[in-house]
Structures are given as C-alpha cells and as structure tokens.
C-alpha cells in the first residue's frame, strides 16, 4: 500500500512539473503556437451550446459536404470544461493540461515497470525535442492520443484484454490514430509466439474489436470508415504529388517529412535513447527485459512513420525514450568510463533540452490569436446567414470559424479534402488566388457563389486585381485583413 502511494505521489509530482513548464511557455507569449487549436476550442464550444451535431456546413468545398465525421469527438467533449475559461487562456490551459497528461503517462508507464530513477527519463522527455514540445503544447488531440496509446500498450503487456477493448473503443472516439492499436497488438502476438511457441491471437482480436466497435457504435457512423481513408492518405501525399506533379494539393508542413539530419538534430535525446543506446547495448541483450520486443517494434514503426511525415514525431519521440529507459535501467555500466559516458549523455540531454525550450520560446509562437477577429465580426454583422466568404488560403478557415459561425467558408483543415471532392474546381480556385484568372470577380461569383472576399497582405496577387475592378467595393479593413464586396 505504501509503495502504491509513493508511485501515485510521484505521478502527481511529475504532472505538476510538466504542467508548470508547459504553462510557462504558453503564458509567456501573446501569440499561440498553432491555429488548429482554435478550431478544436470552437468545436468544443459548439457542442456545449448546441449539443451533438452530425453535419458540418461551414466548408462549402470539401468532402465534409457529403457527410461530416468528427474523428476527434471525444477530445472535443473533454475540451468543453476549458471553454468556460474563455478567450485565448482557454487554449493555453487546455494545451498545458493535455500536454502534461501525455508526458506524465510516459512516467507512469515507467513507474509501473519499476524502472529505477524514472523521474530522470521524465525530465529527458520534457526536453526531448523542440518540434515534439511544439506538438505537445498545442490544444490538439495528439497528446490525448499519446496517453491512450501508452495505456493500450500497458494493457496489452498485462493481458488485460477486456480493459483494452474499452480503452481502444474510446481511443477511436478521441482520434483515429487508434488504428495503430490493432497493428501494435500484432507485435504482441509475435512476441508470444516467440516465447511460448504458440499462436495467441487474443491481443489482435480484442484490439480490433475495440477499434471496430468504436468506429461502428459512433455518432458519425458509418462514414467513420470512409473518413479513416482520408486520415491515412496524407501519409502518402508526397507519393501522389510525385505521380501527378500537382503541387497545388500540398498540405501543411506537418504532413511533410523532415530530412533525417534535421530530425536527428531536433530530437537528439530521443535518437540516443531509442536508437543509439539499444544498438550499443545489443551485445548485452540477454539482460534486457524479456517483454521488450513489442515496445521495440512499436518504436521502430513510429520512427519509420516519422520519416514519412513530421506529425508522427510526437509519438516516435516518447516511445524512443521509453525503449531506451527500459533497456538502460536494467543494463548497468561495467566500467567507470561507461558511467562517465552515461553521465555525459545526461548532461548533453539537459543542454539540448534547454536549447529546445529556448528555440520553442523564440520561434514557436507565431499565431496572432485576434488577427481575423475584426473581419470575422464585421462579416457576422453585415452579411446574410450562411453566406459564403471567399478566402485565399486553407489556413484562414480555422481563425474565421473560431470567431464567426454565421458564415460559411471555402475549405480548411486539409487541402486534400477539397482536391478529392472536386479536383477541377480546386485548380480553378488556385488560379483565382494566384492572380492568373483573367476575371476573378466572375469566377468567384459563378463558381463559388460568394460575394464577399477576405484578403490579407499575403493575398496581393488577387487583391490588386480585385481592387482595380470597378465592380468591387472595399467594405472593411484593418491592419491585417480586408473584406471586399463583389456584385
């Protein structure tokens, strides 16, 4: 009983440290790290105000017109308490809280395995990479997904299959990254086969049951299965671009891979813990934990996914730290120089962690929360309900939607949604916003049924054309945005 109390006190202390560090980053800036968090907070507020809704009319040119699936529904429900805070602080507290929960779940896993000095590895993770930290402090579903993925692996290790079904079910409601759990369960089947010479398919059967039930018994079913396809496709977006030579479809930076050298530079502690340390201690693998194979294969899978898309880094980094911690903790140094080397590496992790936090502090907070507020408020007060606002970038949507659900917009969240829905219209849109369309006024009105255009300084190619056209009237302007009216 005393040991269990000590473990929970440790978990509580680590959570408080993580929360304090992440909150310090978030509350030290006027700007935010990420615009997508604004979308998630608005969704949570809408659920609070309207209850459950299964249609999403705010994007006119998107596959969501055919049927909406909120594949982060549970996450949005969990965000509802933060909406009572209101304003930008709601996003800050949500980001700090879910990020701290995710980081603490890694410590809890190590504590459950009685890993010596687990708190050290928790500190290593807290400074394991600037991009990783950037993803952890954004009020998005990734930290919650990491927490549930760690919990799923722990349940698989403990063979608590009924609990696994429940966790995987709700994981599926929170984020479709839950599709990883049945795949990870295959690694446990292989490990049991290696250890017992028998095929035990229960890990895969129970994990698949939880995922399938979460997809089927879902407020947005049956389109959940189709939407999963659109969640997976962006991992292969670069291959599609290579075949079609159509760069207009390129999504956000998170879907692009980092060069290997950049990945190593920005995740140095994770690289050492998850790759260098296991390889260096491979000759002493007889001392490794006997149940380590599934964790090792999961880490390898996540690293491979990270080489295809930067957005997998938030999972690969903590699992690399987990893998290294479980190995290093049970393989003691045999010589004094090995002890010195480990100490030097820990010191380098500390230096790298400070560097990553400084880099995040200086370069990570670039989103001006209220940039679109004036234009969004004007549109809400001076345009017909549900009228479509034409805008020039898919990233505009989240900030417009956050402040104004009175209007509809062209598209957002992912450009692939628009491209797949109507490739020809997407290319037409690109010709308009690039300034190459000979008559953008007619094209916007006829092709998109829009009479109001939001412009930013970045949209000069289209803006200059529109403002020279006598049919166009400027109806709103501030330091960062402008609204023009078309006939």
Query: Do 465 and 391 have their domain in common?
Result: yes
Claim to verify: residue 320 and residue 207 sit in the same structural domain = yes
Question: Residues with Cβ < 8 Å from 409, sequence gap 6 or more?
Answer: 58, 59, 60, 388, 389, 391, 396, 397, 400, 401
The answer to whether position 40 is within a domain reads: no
What is the reported pLDDT for 255?
67
Specify whether 240 is located in the same domain as 305: yes
Domain total of the chain: 2
3-state class (DSSP) for residue 368:
coil
Note whether residue 43 is domain-resident.
no
Residues of the chain with pLDDT under 70: 1-2, 231-255
Residues 238 and 144 in one domain: yes
pLDDT for residue 4 = 81
Please check whether residues 130 and 270 belong to one and the same domain: yes
Considering the domain boundaries, does residue 170 fall inside one? yes
Q: Dihedral of the CA atoms 26, 32, 36, 38 (nearest 10)?
A: 90
Q: Is the separation of the CB atoms in 373 and 483 below 8 Å?
A: no
Per-residue pLDDT, 370: 93
Question: Is 45 part of a structural domain of the chain?
Answer: no
36 in any annotated domain: no
Does one domain contain both 114 and 250?
yes
At residue 241, the pLDDT reads 46
Of 363, 388, 405, which residue is a domain's last? 363
Q: What is the pLDDT of residue 240?
A: 46
110 exposure class (CB count in 10 Å sphere: 0-12, 13-18, 19+)? buried
**Are residues 309 and 187 both part of a single domain?**
yes
Whether residue 63 lies inside any domain: the answer is no
Please indicate, yes or no, whether residues 199 and 83 belong to a single structural domain of this protein: yes
| Assigned token pair, 117 | 């000095």
In a domain, 62, yes or no: no
One domain, residues 223 and 270: yes
Residue 245: predicted pLDDT: 42
pTM: 0.94
* Residue 287 shares a structural domain with residue 384: no
- Distance, in Å, from the CA atom of 314 to the CA atom of 133, rounded to the nearest integer, reads 8
Q: Are residues 206 and 352 in the same domain?
A: yes
Does residue 421 share a domain with residue 291?
no
Domain residue limits at 415:
373-485
């Amino acid at each position: 009983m005393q040991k269990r109390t000590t473990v929970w006190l440790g978990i509580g202390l680590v959570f408080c440290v993580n929360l304090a560090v992440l909150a310090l980053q978030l509350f030290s800036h006027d700007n935010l790290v990420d615009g997508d968090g604004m979308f998630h907070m608005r969704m949570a507020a809408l659920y609070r105000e309207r209850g459950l809704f299964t249609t999403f009319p705010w994007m006119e040119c998107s596959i969501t017109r055919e049927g909406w699936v909120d594949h982060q529904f549970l996450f949005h429900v969990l965000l509802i308490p933060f909406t009572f805070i209101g304003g930008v602080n709601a996003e800050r507290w949500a980001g700090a809280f879910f990020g701290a929960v995710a980081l603490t779940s890694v410590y809890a896993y190590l504590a459950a395995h009685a890993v010596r000095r687990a708190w050290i590895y928790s500190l290593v993770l807290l400074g394991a990479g600037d991009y990783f930290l950037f993803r952890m402090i954004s009020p998005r579903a990734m930290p919650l997904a990491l927490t549930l993925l760690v919990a799923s692996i722990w349940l698989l290790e403990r063979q608590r299959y009924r609990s696994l079904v429940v966790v995987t079910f709700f994981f599926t409601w929170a984020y479709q990254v839950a599709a990883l759990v049945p795949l990870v369960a295959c690694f446990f089947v292989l490990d049991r086969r290696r250890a017992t010479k028998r095929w035990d398919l229960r890990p895969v059967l129970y994990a698949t049951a939880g995922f399938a039930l979460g997809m089927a018994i879902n407020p947005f079913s049956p389109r959940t299965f189709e939407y999963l396809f659109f969640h997976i496709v962006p991992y292969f977006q670069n291959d599609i671009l290579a075949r079609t030579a159509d760069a207009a479809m390129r999504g956000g930076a998170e879907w692009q891979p980092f060069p290997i050298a950049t990945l190593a530079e920005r995740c140095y502690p994770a690289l050492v813990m998850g790759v260098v340390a296991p390889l260096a201690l491979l000759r002493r693998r007889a001392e490794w934990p006997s149940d380590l194979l599934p964790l090792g294969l999961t880490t390898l899978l996540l690293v491979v996914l990270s080489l295809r898309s930067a957005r997998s880094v938030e999972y690969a980094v903590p699992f690399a730290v987990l893998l290294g911690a479980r190995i290093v903790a049970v393989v003691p140094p045999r010589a004094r120089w090995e002890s010195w080397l480990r100490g030097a590496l820990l010191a380098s992790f500390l230096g790298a962690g400070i560097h990553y936090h400084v880099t995040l502090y200086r370069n990570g907070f670039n989103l001006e929360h209220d940039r679109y507020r004036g234009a969004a408020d004007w549109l809400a007060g001076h345009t017909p309900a549900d009228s479509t606002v034409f805008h020039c970038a898919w990233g505009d949507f989240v900030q417009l939607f956050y402040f104004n659900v009175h209007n509809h917009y062209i598209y957002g969240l992912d450009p692939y949604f628009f491209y797949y829905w109507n490739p020809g219209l997407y290319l037409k849109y690109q010709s308009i916003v690039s300034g190459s369309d000979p008559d953008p006024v007619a094209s916007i009105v006829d092709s998109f049924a829009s009479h109001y255009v939001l412009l930013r300084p970045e949209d000069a190619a289209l803006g200059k054309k529109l403002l020279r056209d006598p049919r166009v009237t400027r109806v709103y302007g501030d330091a960062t945005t402008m609204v023009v009216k078309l006939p």
